[in-house]
Amino acid sequence: MRLVLLGAPGAGKGTQATVISEKFKIPHISTGDIFRSNIKNGTELGKKAKEYIDEGLLVPDELTIDIVKDRLKQDDCKNGFILDGFPRTIPQAEYLDKALDSMEVNLDCALNIYVSDEEIIKRMSGRRLCSGCGKGYHTIYIPTRVSGICDSCGAAVIQREDDKEETVLSRLKTYHEQTEPLIDYYERKGKLVTVEGKKNVEDTKKAVLEALGAK
Ligand code: AMP
């Protein structure tokens, strides 16, 4: 199974990608995670990417495409993969088409998780992350037992810089301008499947697996 996940930031792509990755035993490739780990390790790529990420902007295509190019060459991608957060622009999608052609494989599906802007803003501004183990929380939906402290490891729970409301609005604008056109792009190729991203993660999970089962 080779698929890409589309959807606004905060639609739940990461959560659903984990589910799909376990179910189909394929690697979950998140360009956002790759950038965050580079930022944490202070690499050159991380330093460059941070300037854009903190502003809610996309990292330039040439940097992003290079990391995906390297990742897809790895052995574990031979039988499939799920790309979470890539492509985010038409040139990235065109690159991916070329890369798949040269690997002589096809994309099975572009799975689009739809959530309204209003709901996205509510979800993202409440999102929190453990600074120690990386566990995810939400001030309303998944609160910590003790305010500000991770239930699992006891480290401080923080808000990602790019989850702050001002940045969320900028990320949504970027999404509508640069990433939403991919819905048409994959629709025209007959690859698009859209699922509604419900509040309840389990409901979305069911809908996603049903949609993929039909593929
Ligand atoms: P994510 O965790 O997928 O929401 O990604 C966090 C941030 O990383 C995004 O807001 C972008 O700034 C950057 N990013 C992730 N994937 C891409 C991509 N495919 N193209 C450009 N920028 C990206």
Question: How many angstroms is it from 13 CA to the middle of ligand 1?
Answer: 12
Tens-digit pLDDT profile for residues 44-91: 999 999 999 988 899 999 999 999 989 999 999 999 999 999 999 999
Catalytic residue list contains 13? yes
Question: Average of pLDDT values for 196-213?
Answer: 88
Q: DSSP readout, the chain?
A: -EEEEEE-TTSSHHHHHHHHHHHHT--EEEHHHHHHHHHHTT-HHHHHHHHHHTTTPPPPHHHHHHHHHHHHTSGGGTT-EEEES---SHHHHHHHHHHHHHTT----EEEEEE--HHHHHHHHHTEEEETTT--EEETTTB--SBTTB-TTT-PBEE--GGGSHHHHHHHHHHIIIIITHHHHHHHHTT-EEEEE--SSHHHHHHHHHHHHHT-
User: pLDDT over 70 for what percent of the chain?
Assistant: 99
pLDDT of residue 37: 93
Work out the mean pLDDT of the chain and round it to a whole number: 93
Kindly report the pTM of this predicted structure: 0.87
pLDDT of residue 145: 97
Q: What's the fold here for domain 2-116+166-211?
A: Rossmann fold (3.40.50)
Domains in the chain: boundaries: 2-116+166-211
**Is it the case that residue 134 has pLDDT exceeding 60?**
yes
Name the catalytic one among 13, 36, 50, 205.
13
